[in-house]
């Protein structure tokens, strides 16, 4: 494997099967130049990134950030993939590494940042937040830095972002939409959710996909099944009233009009989560 370009002493760009790859290893480029052959025994990690734009940003990031941050970020990402069982977009290698580096630098300079969505993230993205907590343990073990829960929530949102392949602004908007809808249901029925119940988990999952469609401006394909909606409306009248409140709220705040099919499924999920509590 030959050096195509040197990013720093520990990172080079090379070619593998005609595809550009990023190769990492301690001192792999020390006293080397483009065209030299690298020692395979020094190779710790080879990154093959499919997106050209991500590859460019990744090169810039690695050139500016110490290698240990990249290694820690990869360790956290591998742990997340196992725990979540989901594919993560390659952009996570950039966003998470950059965030961890910035978070630790802020901590050292006594400049903590509070996460305004800490409460929502802990409840809406439990699995991702748990990974975030473990990530804080990894950070503490490697850098002897104890970061607050706010950072676990930030990491969780980066993981959600990588699953949905969205920018962070959309993920934040989605989280707020979900929380607003949960608040409407909670006050309509004057209840507290059983956050450990299967029906609550299903409801949250449904709302995640709904919120994703909302921020993207997409809708369910409406098959105009008015008859089925009428049946559900008559069978679950209170849940349907709650759905109507949500519909009005979403139209007013987000200019998004729920289709009959979305009203149908929303009403069913509300009925399930409320019935489980009652």
DSSP three-state, residue 8: strand
Taking the domain 1-48, which CATH number applies?
Answer: 2.30.24.10
Q: 1-48 with 179-277: one CATH topology?
A: no
Closest CA to 90 of 106, 99, 77, 108: 77
Tell whether the model's pLDDT for residue 222 goes beyond 60: no
- Region 98-103 average pLDDT: 92
Who wins on pLDDT, 192 or 164? 192
Cα separation values, 199 from 175, 188, 195, 202, Å: 19, 18, 9, 5
CATH number of 51-164: 1.10.1790.10
Q: Which helix (H) or strand (E) holds 115?
A: none
pLDDT at 49: 67
Question: Cα angle vertex 166, ends 244, 132, to 5°?
Answer: 95
Q: Which fold has domain 179-277?
A: PTS-regulatory domain, PRD (1.10.1790)
Can you give the residue ranges of every domain in the chain?
A: 1-48, 51-164, 179-277
> Taking 50 as the threshold, does the pLDDT of residue 210 lie above it?
yes
Helix (H, G, I), strand (E, B) or coil at 74: helix
pLDDT in tens, 41-99: 888 777 776 667 777 777 777 777 888 898 899 899 999 999 999 888 888 888 899 99
14's enclosing H/E stretch is: strand 11-16
Question: How is 152-200 classified by DSSP, letter by letter?
Answer: HHHHHHHHHHHHHT--HHHHHHHHHHHHHHHHHHHHHHT----TTSHHH
First to last CA, the chain: 65
Pairwise CA distance, residues 76 & 161, whole Å: 15
- pTM beyond cutoff 0.95: no
Mean pLDDT of the chain: 87
């Amino acid at each position: 494997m030959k050096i195509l370009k040197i990013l720093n002493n520990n990172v080079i760009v090379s070619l593998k099967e005609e595809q550009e790859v990023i190769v990492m290893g301690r001192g792999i480029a020390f006293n080397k130049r483009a065209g030299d052959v690298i020692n395979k025994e020094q190779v710790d990690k080879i990154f093959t990134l499919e997106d050209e734009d991500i590859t460019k940003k990744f090169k810039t990031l690695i050139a500016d950030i110490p290698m240990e941050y990249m290694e820690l970020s990869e360790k956290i990402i591998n742990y997340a993939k196992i725990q979540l069982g989901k594919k993560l977009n390659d952009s996570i290698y950039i966003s998470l590494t950059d965030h961890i580096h910035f978070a630790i630098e802020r901590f050292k300079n006594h400049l903590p940042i509070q996460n305004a969505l800490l409460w929502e993230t802990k409840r809406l993205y439990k699995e991702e937040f748990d990974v975030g907590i473990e990530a804080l343990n990894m950070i503490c073990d490697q850098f002897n830095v104890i970061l607050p829960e706010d950072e676990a929530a930030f990491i969780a949102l980066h993981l959600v972002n990588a699953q949905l392949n969205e920018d962070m602004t959309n993920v934040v908007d989605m989280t707020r939409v979900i929380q607003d809808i949960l608040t409407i249901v909670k006050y309509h029925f004057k209840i507290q959710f059983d956050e450990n119940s299967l029906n609550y988990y299903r409801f949250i999952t449904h709302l995640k996909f709904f919120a994703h469609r909302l921020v993207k401006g997409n809708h369910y394909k409406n098959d105009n099944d008015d008859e089925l909606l009428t049946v559900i409306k008559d069978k679950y009248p209170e849940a349907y009233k709650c759905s109507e409140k949500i519909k009005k709220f979403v139209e007013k705040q987000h200019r998004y009009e729920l289709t009959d099919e979305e009203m149908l499924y929303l009403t069913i999920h509300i009925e399930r989560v409320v019935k489980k509590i009652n």
